Structure 1
Amino acid sequence: MTRQIHAATVVGALRAVATEHGQVPAILDGADRLDHATFWQQAGQVARRLRSLGVRNGDVVALAADRTAGLLVGLVGVLRSGATVLPLDVTYPRPRLMMMLQDSGARIVVGHGHTVGPFTAEGREAVILAEAVAAEPVPAEDELPDPHPGDGCYLLYTSGSTGGPKAVLMPHAGLANLVRWQARTSGVGPGSRTLQYGAISFDVSLQEIFSTLATGGTLVCIDEEARRNPIRTWELMIATGVERIFLPYVGLQALVMVADDIPVERSALREIIPGGEQLQCTKALRELLLRMPECRVSNHYGPVETHAVTCHPLEADPERWLSLPPIGTPIPGNRVHVLDEAGREMAVGEIGELYVAGDQVSYGYWRRPDLTAERFLPSPDGDGGRMYRTGDLARRRADGSLDFLGRADDQVKIRGFRVELAEVEAAVSDHPEVAACGATVAGDEGIDRFLVAFVLPRPGFVADTVREDLRGRLPGHLVPEVFHVVDALPQLPSGKLDRRGLRLLAERETAADPR
């Protein structure tokens, strides 16, 4: 059953769960199991250690840990201390992690002994998780107060796709609003199992973690090696009875590609929540969901600066899905505007830039008032609030939902025609001989530009056959001139498609074998 969340912060929600559902498993990590009461107590031990080191509300504390139960204990421990957490993905290159630490001003790093060592230079202190949780328990009357809804909750660095990396500061109130909505709509409750799939530096991981723990659910840990192996991911989900997974579209593609070799009918999976990039409903995805009639797909949209703000539940019948489904309508507490360059609202069917206002608009960019003023503008809603300029293009449908049309600053034109790469990828991926596709452009600006498709093939793939099929379904400027077969598509650490990497790959292939 679903659980209604009334707490003003996710910390308050976890406190209530520890009291009401303390014996329900919170974490499954291989053979290790932590119930909610023990998990809450261990997170409290981490928080008290941080407070003893002088951490106070508003301070930034970094978290650098492997994908284990300790990562989750450390995450909640930092928030219980009142600090703002800076999650560090330990698989990132060290120079990038050092840049984040220096820019954030974090003076304490929480993690395992082998993960925090490289980051304790420049006067930083380490809190070792195993030592903190082994400390003498503190009496209940010394319970730590919950953070205020207006306090900073997390600091996440963007990928740098629109410039240099910069950190987004989200208050507790923003994450709590998202988690309350997710709890009402997901149909999960005490004991329901969700895979802890998202990278900790990816905002969706926080939605995944807290919408599970705050409802008394159970997070199933997956190590990094298994996470990168879709067959092992399926095996773990089936063996542990995972009912829900949040993941980027590229991660979903990977699971779909191997599904023919998996007894998915034995899976307990009931909800797939893709986000972070354009969802494409390929033939292979439809076939998978036809084999799992009890499973539903909900398409989420939202940049790091607001987290997920719209949702589109796909129809129960996969045969009726659009190749590029809408991103849906705003979740409660949020509003969206589709505006032209003069700030006027666009009519239904007209393309404009997408702006987001409401409860989940973050505080802006950490220590970057110039960029914050540029992207966070006064809301036209008359409430004195702000809206975030996403840089994404969208159009409103007659039913009020939104179509996502890519980045405003990354438009592609072929022979004067605007090309939506997601539309090309969806059309190619819909061919029965194609499992997945990433599309980009190559060649010089102007008439010499051409489309390149990188394809993960299915048995029987022949490029000429796919090209001829596309010519019968698409305008000529949307048909790739060149197909390259690859073993994998380039990905960002978050799991999203690495479009810059795709362009570089196309440039190398074109230089080696020009048309």
Structure 2
Amino acid sequence: MSDKETKEGYHREDLIFSLNKPLTDKLKETAKQHGVTLATLIQAVWGVMLQQYNRTDDVVFGAVVSGRLSEIPGVEQMIGLFINTIPIRIKTHQDETFQELLIRCQKEMLEAEPFTCQPLFDIQANTALKQELIDHIIVFENYPLQQKIADSADQTDSPLQIDQVQVSEQSGYNFNLVVAPGEELVVKFSYNAFVYDAAWISCIKRQFTQALSTAAQHPHMPIADFSFLDATEKEQIVTQFNNTKTEYPKYHTIIDLFREQAEKTPDHTALVYGNMSISYKELDKRSNALARELIQKGFRKNETAGILAAHSPEFMISVLAVLKAGGAYLPLDAELPPERVSFMLEETQAKMLIVQKGLEQNAAFSGTCIISDAQRLMEENDIPINISSSPDDLAYIMYTSGSTGRPKGVMITNRNVVSLVSNSNYTSASGDDRFIMTGSISFDAVTFEMFGSLLHGASLHIIDKSTMLSPDRFGAYLLENDITVLFLTTALFNQLAQVRADMFRGLHTLYVGGEALSPALMNAVRHACSDLALHNIYGPTENTTFSTFFEMKRDYAGPIPIGKPISNSTTYILDTKGRLLPIGVPGELCVGGDGVAKGYLNREDLTNAVFSPHPFLPGERIYRTGDLARWLPDGNLEYISRIDRQMKIRGKRIEPAEIEARLLEMEGVQEAAVTLREKDGEAQLYTHYVGDHKKTDTDFRADLARVLPDYMIPQHWVRVERMPLTGNGKIDRSALPIPENKPAKRQDIILPRNLVEEELANIWKQVLGVNTISIDDDFFAIGGHSLKALQVIHTLKHQQNIDIPIDFLFEHPTIAQLAEKLYSKQLRAADEQHVIKLNQHGAQNLFCFPPISGFGIYFKDLALLLNEKAAVYGFHFIEQDTRIEQYVNCMTDIQPEGPYVLLGYSAGGNLAFEVAQAMERKGLEVSDFIIVDAYLKEQPLPIDAGNDESAAYLPEAVREKVMKKKETIRNIGHNC
């Protein structure tokens, strides 16, 4: 229960306090009335507290007993250590009252008394938990030694005087609860300060005291209603932790604030896209022109318009245009399946669809379509549209995954958005900032990116996916464009930070959210970027993007908190009955405030289920997130898990039931269960199904891809004969078999045919975590996605010294296709650069001259063997008479001074010899000259172009060019 950094060892601290006499007397009275010992009562109270801390009805802790059973003759006269630790199990039943629990506990303890001499080690050995059976103990001192010694020192007439005695005891457990009897019960918490901090222990003290009071005052209370939240702590949570009110323009709309900003800084840059830069004045004018066109074509106030677009200025112009026309926009990412787009347009009753220029072929819409072209809009009528809107009018509808099998539309108002970005405690954006758009336009983080920048006079940079998914290119873009504010999903952050933890060093603020964070990666980035404000951010779409934030100012070993509520938001931890829970007790995280959405479109039943009346602010509402969390003593929140089956994949929230519903619509599927499992540190979707054995995983993926976005398509498929069931007849998801990680027996595998295909296959196996792969497998059909593609591109660069944009993999998704593309790139490099570095590091350089094919890539295997020993450079054959001079110049550029080591293979041996002679004539020292399988100059080169083993390493499309090079080299060889 500590958020401290993990430290080795044991540093003992004690917290000692007394229960006042009235409470002590009441506890004794309650115990006597129910025929139980005071120790039993205290153990029962502690057990109920532990149950609430751990969300279970069954807990075990240790208790120390004297071990002196009365059945042992003469036991009172024996000297020795008889004490023993035994496990105490507190299990409660539904509808049981506290007094019923008390009586049952006393009965069970009396029945167990004859066995209290059983060694703890033997008990642990016979349980599944072994040494983890108990992790702390309770000691009830029947004879408080220290107090008796102190009392005897005060009795001057005592025949035995004891003084200057110090007693110190320490168990091997990190927490011990010791209770000493007396007119006032004395309680001591003895704990390891490296594990528990003082704030937690102080909190437990207050709660334990309240729990004892509740038990003494209300023994008839049902366990389900038992609470140890006192008035002080309730006030702390409701008032102090949620003191978030700030002034902001709550009576203004998004367009009100944007127009104010455009008038204030008309010439300041609003949008940057490649070489295009659009000022606030231009953005205002172009969105005016599109808004006017919308109205002229029949769009009316409070209607919905879809926007089908990718990352582009056109998307931003379209958003502002719809808002200016008094409507709500529906963001539709161009990568969404057409069927999903059609469903959203139909459910929202969108009157118009704005389509980004170039995406017209993706638009299947029976209503009015308008093409958004930033260039064309410069020439249109840009007179402002004067349509009055209210802060309570809808701004947009954002779809999230739905448990019924269809997505649900979240309705967000203007006020929701304005409260998110205006005068809030988590951001201080200004005109000096430069934001960057990273998320899909259908992902709610884009709301913060767009309006967090444009309503504060900042610049918003829009980049393509290939740049964002390349750590080197993205890092360079951040630095070159002086980006100051960035939001990343946890999954993308992890991929980038693993490659380059320092790539964020130029930022002022980095927000990361969507899933639980990796402490190791966050720590690494914090150290690499010392001036960076690094935030863990949390929030559901239903509360307008962000609800809480936490700035990470030190290293963490355990879970990183999600922080405190943002301005004008409130957060509470409630139980299933909507009651406030104490600090440290897990419950459902519920959010309130001005960010709470209007509800779900056309889903009144679901809206009423999760949008509830505010428990503390009459007239307001809260949203029940379905997330399990708890308060920390300092007012920060810690996320624990989901309560329901909802999942998060790459920062996007999904309902497995939606995927299951789609699967059951498919021919040949009788039953389906979708689960989330960790594989190689990544959350991945698994599908178990009962159905047609003739359909392949590829068939299922292709069918799902027509109706679901890529992040909702499972990576793993397991066919089962029947589903395991629970006692009540439901699918037992915990019993679904985990597929063995062994090669699948496939008959259709095409093995790599050349060196490049073999290297690509090895990289794909490593990244995708598979053992078998065919060169015609589609990367994205066998478990790949954009973040996996990033890993492939990074590995190619740093292992093979091949730098390609991520688009290559999207455009050429099979090994065979990508190998062809890479070889074409290598051939162009041969004509332009003449040399390729084949590994990363080495104590010295080795310059290699090519065989008859004329390409330095043939030394790749040698380079891998010599990595760390020699940096291997492979020369391509230069088809110019000045080739010798060019080779010498190239080597001296790489290594200005000797000695030099040259290697020539086959025809390259003759070439290397000529180069070595030229170098010595220039006074350059060649220390080693290595030739392999070369021929004397007088002999013609034995070339048989149709039967060359090296040709087997090349893709078919490349061989023609190789043969031409061979002919050139052969002629040179004959002329030597």
Q: With structure 1 as the length reference, what TM-score do the two structures score?
A: 0.77
**Is the Cα contact below 8 Å between 1:63 and 1:111 reproduced in 2?**
yes
Distance in 2, matches of 1:121 and 1:129, equals 19
Q: Are residue 29 (structure 1) and residue 268 (structure 2) matched?
A: no
Residue identity opposite 1:307 in structure 2: T
Q: Are residue 10 (structure 1) and residue 254 (structure 2) matched?
A: yes
Q: Could you say which residue in structure 1 is the equivalent of 2:422?
A: 180
Residue identity opposite 1:273 in structure 2: Y
- The 1:58–1:446 alpha-carbon spacing in structure 2 relative to 1, beyond 3 Å, is closer
Distance in 1, matches of 2:351 and 2:387, equals 22
- Correspondences of 1:45-124 after superposition (within 5 Å): 45-124=289-368
**Is the Cα contact below 8 Å between 1:300 and 1:308 reproduced in 2?**
no
Q: Could you say which residue in structure 2 is the equivalent of 1:400?
A: 635
Q: Displacement, 1:146? A: 5.1
Q: Are residue 325 (structure 1) and residue 549 (structure 2) matched?
A: no
Q: Displacement, 1:309? A: 4.3
Q: Secondary structure at the match of 1:395?
A: strand
**Is the Cα contact below 8 Å between 1:197 and 1:246 reproduced in 2?**
yes
Q: Could you say which residue in structure 2 is the equivalent of 1:292?
A: 529
Q: Could you say which residue in structure 2 is the equivalent of 1:420?
A: none
**Is the Cα contact below 8 Å between 1:249 and 1:277 reproduced in 2?**
yes
Distance in 2, matches of 1:446 and 1:74, equals 44
Distance in 1, matches of 2:734 and 2:682, equals 24
Q: Could you say which residue in structure 1 is the equivalent of 2:588?
A: 353
Distance in 2, matches of 1:47 and 1:136, equals 11
**Is the Cα contact below 8 Å between 1:179 and 1:211 reproduced in 2?**
yes
Q: Are residue 195 (structure 1) and residue 436 (structure 2) matched?
A: yes
Q: Are residue 274 (structure 1) and residue 515 (structure 2) matched?
A: no
Q: Secondary structure at the match of 2:542?
A: coil
Distance in 1, matches of 2:609 and 2:734, equals 35
Residue identity opposite 1:244 in structure 2: V
- The 1:193–1:170 alpha-carbon spacing in structure 2 relative to 1, beyond 3 Å, is same
Q: Are residue 152 (structure 1) and residue 394 (structure 2) matched?
A: yes
Residue identity opposite 1:272 in structure 2: L
**Is the Cα contact below 8 Å between 1:113 and 1:128 reproduced in 2?**
yes
Residue identity opposite 2:395 in structure 1: C
Distance in 1, matches of 2:514 and 2:590, equals 16
Q: Displacement, 1:453? A: 13
Q: Are residue 386 (structure 1) and residue 621 (structure 2) matched?
A: yes
Q: Are residue 374 (structure 1) and residue 609 (structure 2) matched?
A: yes
Q: Displacement, 1:313? A: 2.8
Q: Could you say which residue in structure 2 is the equivalent of 1:466?
A: none
**Is the Cα contact below 8 Å between 1:352 and 1:393 reproduced in 2?**
yes
Distance in 1, matches of 2:341 and 2:481, equals 33
Q: Are residue 44 (structure 1) and residue 288 (structure 2) matched?
A: yes
Taking CA–CA contacts closer than 8 Å with sequence separation of 6 or more, which of the two structures ends up with the larger relative contact order? 1
Q: Are residue 363 (structure 1) and residue 598 (structure 2) matched?
A: yes
Q: Could you say which residue in structure 2 is the equivalent of 1:251?
A: 492
Distance in 2, matches of 1:360 and 1:222, equals 28
- The 1:197–1:296 alpha-carbon spacing in structure 2 relative to 1, beyond 3 Å, is same
Q: Could you say which residue in structure 1 is the equivalent of 2:446?
A: 205
Identify the range of structure 1 (220-229 vs 118-127) with the bigger mean alpha-carbon deviation. 118-127
397, 403, 412: which is aligned to 1:170?
412
- The 1:378–1:132 alpha-carbon spacing in structure 2 relative to 1, beyond 3 Å, is farther
- The 1:120–1:264 alpha-carbon spacing in structure 2 relative to 1, beyond 3 Å, is closer
Q: Secondary structure at the match of 1:305?
A: helix
The percent identity for this pair of structures is: 26
- The 1:245–1:491 alpha-carbon spacing in structure 2 relative to 1, beyond 3 Å, is farther
Q: Secondary structure at the match of 1:313?
A: strand
Give structure 1 stretches of 5+ with no counterpart.
413-423, 429-433, 455-483, 496-515
CA deviations over 1:145-173 (Å, ceiling 9, x no partner): 45310100010100336753110001100
- The 1:151–1:437 alpha-carbon spacing in structure 2 relative to 1, beyond 3 Å, is same
Residue identity opposite 2:767 in structure 1: V
Q: Could you say which residue in structure 2 is the equivalent of 1:19?
A: 263
- The 1:178–1:452 alpha-carbon spacing in structure 2 relative to 1, beyond 3 Å, is farther
Q: Displacement, 1:380? A: 1.1
CA deviations over 1:32-71 (Å, ceiling 9, x no partner): 1011111111111111111112222210001112212121
Q: Secondary structure at the match of 1:97?
A: helix
471, 476, 479: which is aligned to 1:235?
476
Distance in 2, matches of 1:393 and 1:186, equals 26
Identify the range of structure 1 (169-178 vs 484-493) with the bigger mean alpha-carbon deviation. 484-493
Q: Displacement, 1:278? A: 2.2
Q: Secondary structure at the match of 1:357?
A: strand
**Is the Cα contact below 8 Å between 2:437 and 2:462 reproduced in 1?**
yes
- The 1:5–1:361 alpha-carbon spacing in structure 2 relative to 1, beyond 3 Å, is closer
**Is the Cα contact below 8 Å between 2:584 and 2:633 reproduced in 1?**
yes
Q: Displacement, 1:77? A: 1.4
Distance in 1, matches of 2:606 and 2:735, equals 36
Distance in 2, matches of 1:215 and 1:491, equals 38
Q: Displacement, 1:275? A: 2.1
Q: Displacement, 1:381? A: 1.9
**Is the Cα contact below 8 Å between 1:336 and 1:354 reproduced in 2?**
yes
Residue identity opposite 1:235 in structure 2: A
Residue identity opposite 2:381 in structure 1: P
Q: Displacement, 1:118? A: 3.5
**Is the Cα contact below 8 Å between 1:64 and 1:112 reproduced in 2?**
yes
CA deviations over 1:410-452 (Å, ceiling 9, x no partner): 399xxxxxxxxxxx97xx9xxxxx9x54478999659867989
Q: Displacement, 1:326? A: 1.2
Larger radius of gyration: 2
Q: With structure 2 as the length reference, what TM-score do the two structures score?
A: 0.42
Q: Could you say which residue in structure 2 is the equivalent of 1:264?
A: 503
Identify the range of structure 1 (204-213 vs 441-450) with the bigger mean alpha-carbon deviation. 441-450
**Is the Cα contact below 8 Å between 2:540 and 2:547 reproduced in 1?**
no
Q: Could you say which residue in structure 1 is the equivalent of 2:767?
A: 486
Give structure 2 stretches of 5+ with no counterpart.
1-246, 648-676, 689-717, 719-723, 725-731, 742-764, 770-779, 789-976
Distance in 1, matches of 2:404 and 2:536, equals 24
- The 1:40–1:440 alpha-carbon spacing in structure 2 relative to 1, beyond 3 Å, is closer
Q: Displacement, 1:235? A: 2.4
Identify the range of structure 1 (202-211 vs 105-114) with the bigger mean alpha-carbon deviation. 105-114
Residue identity opposite 2:417 in structure 1: L
Q: Secondary structure at the match of 1:114?
A: coil
Distance in 2, matches of 1:188 and 1:325, equals 24
- The 1:485–1:172 alpha-carbon spacing in structure 2 relative to 1, beyond 3 Å, is same
Q: Displacement, 1:129? A: 3.0
Distance in 1, matches of 2:332 and 2:787, equals 12
**Is the Cα contact below 8 Å between 2:549 and 2:566 reproduced in 1?**
no
**Is the Cα contact below 8 Å between 1:194 and 1:217 reproduced in 2?**
yes
Distance in 1, matches of 2:450 and 2:607, equals 28
Aligned length: 435
Distance in 2, matches of 1:356 and 1:366, equals 20
Distance in 1, matches of 2:734 and 2:479, equals 51
Q: Secondary structure at the match of 1:67?
A: coil
Residue identity opposite 1:379 in structure 2: H
